[in-house]
Amino acid sequence: MLKGYKYRLHPTAAQAEFLIRTIGCARFIYNKLLEDRIAIHEEAKVSGGPKRKPPTPASYKPLFPFLCEADSLALANAKLHLDTAFAKFFAGTAGFPVFKSRRKARASYTTNNQHGTIRIEEDRVRLPKVGFIRFTQHRSFDGEIRSATVSMTRSGTFFVSLLVEQDDEPWVPAEHKVGIDLGLGYFAVMTNDAFVTEKIPNPRNLRKAEGRLKQAQRALSRKKPGSRNREKTRLLLAKKHEQVKNRRHDFLHKLSRHIVDENQVVVVETLRTREMMQDRRLAKSIGDAGWGEFVRQLEYKCRSHGRTLIKADPWFASTQVCSSCGENGGKKGLDIREWTCAACGAHHDRDVNASLNLLRLADRNTSGQGLPDELGP
């Protein structure tokens, strides 16, 4: 099993300069190869003859000598990334590869471990051509490092993601099953098979920080383009955005970890987020909530820990059905927080009732292969 570990890097000024240059070279090769492949295709179309062979990263070196300074594995990986982008395009799963812009594209390069060229010694990580860079290793690991991806955020912070070959984690069955209702009032309302309900408040990280971000954004637009002040403000703003993002990720990681630790079967609602995003009032809170990222984390954590994740069909009427008698009481507006079932008289908290309905799916379907027919639309 391959697992990724991401750490903050603390390069010296000279090392940072090298990293930035290598990121630039990888992007240059990617764009150059893309440009040439398009040209080769056009030539063949005009001449009708066979296509000439696409160039390799190394073949650009005589023409662009600055490439010789860079880590050649980073250039080779840039080509692999382009190959993957084309493969996705031809498989119909992605659009035509686009050129990487210096401003918009993710600033990163990937290099490989060749017999210890990437390794950790105390508080430093060694990378090819750079040598040892100081880093914060908050979490250690066992296993062999396969590759390293160096990335730089918009505020100029460096990270390294190490891809490590590891033994599979031992499978420890958990005790419970849980139904999770995702919402705006509470981020999640979860009821397990011991009928213990946990309500997780929405952290609203983005909203709290939003006032400050807006202020910074306004300050930025007042600065003269290209001025030193503008660059300073842009940096500040990028840092704040990153802070908010990190805090949100932290929250989601802790919550998904907690769920996977305690439950063997997890049922979660898949929301029709795109549809809901069209409601502008809701869109802000939804974008903030990060449900998609949460479900993604549950998915891979369940997989690596031998748990069963059941994603309820978006059309599953978790809020409409009475969890006591099964009667479908019809649609309920978002403002209705509590209701009484007309059929059996049970009084329900909207979110708890929904999580109970989701929990029931765990018993009907523990194979994780979609919903049984009777629960479909």
- Contacting residues toward Zn ion, per CB under 5 A: 322, 324-325, 327, 341, 343-344, 346
Q: Which sign, positive or negative, has the C-alpha torsion 282, 286, 292, 295?
A: negative
Element (H, E) at 28: helix 13-47
Least distance to Zn ion, CB of residue 154, Å: 52
How wide is the angle at C-alpha 28 spanned by C-alphas 26 and 29, nearest 5°? 65
Q: Cα–Cα distance between 62 and 359 in angstroms, integer? A: 64
The CA radius of gyration of the chain, in Å to the nearest whole number, is: 26
Q: Which CB, 341 or 375, lies closer to Zn ion?
A: 341
Our separate counts of H helices and E strands in the chain read 8, 14
Query: Which residues are designated catalytic?
Result: 181, 269, 351
Structure token digits, residue 299: 């998915």
Q: Cα–Cα distance between 5 and 145 in angstroms, integer? A: 10
How remote is the C-alpha of 261 from its chain's centroid?
A: 21
Q: Which CB, 325 or 334, lies closer to Zn ion?
A: 325
Q: Cα–Cα distance between 235 and 321 in angstroms, integer? A: 50
Q: Which CB, 206 or 322, lies closer to Zn ion?
A: 322
How remote is the C-alpha of 13 from its chain's centroid?
A: 30
Q: Which CB, 39 or 325, lies closer to Zn ion?
A: 325
Least distance to Zn ion, CB of residue 317, Å: 13
Q: Cα–Cα distance between 310 and 299 in angstroms, integer? A: 9
Least distance to Zn ion, CB of residue 323, Å: 8
Residue of 10, 315, 310 lying closest to 160 (CA atoms):
10
Least distance to Zn ion, CB of residue 324, Å: 5
Q: Whose structure tokens read 């056009």?
A: 42
Least distance to Zn ion, CB of residue 321, Å: 9
Q: Which CB, 265 or 322, lies closer to Zn ion?
A: 322
Least distance to Zn ion, CB of residue 341, Å: 3
Buried b (16+ CB within 10 A) or exposed e, 69-80: ebbbbbbbbbbe
Q: Which sign, positive or negative, has the C-alpha torsion 206, 210, 216, 220?
A: positive
Least distance to Zn ion, CB of residue 328, Å: 10
Q: Cα–Cα distance between 63 and 214 in angstroms, integer? A: 46
Q: Which CB, 87 or 343, lies closer to Zn ion?
A: 343
Residue of 149, 155, 160 lying closest to 111 (CA atoms):
149
Residue of 1, 242, 4, 6 lying closest to 125 (CA atoms):
6
Q: Which CB, 33 or 359, lies closer to Zn ion?
A: 359
Structure token digits, residue 40: 């080769």
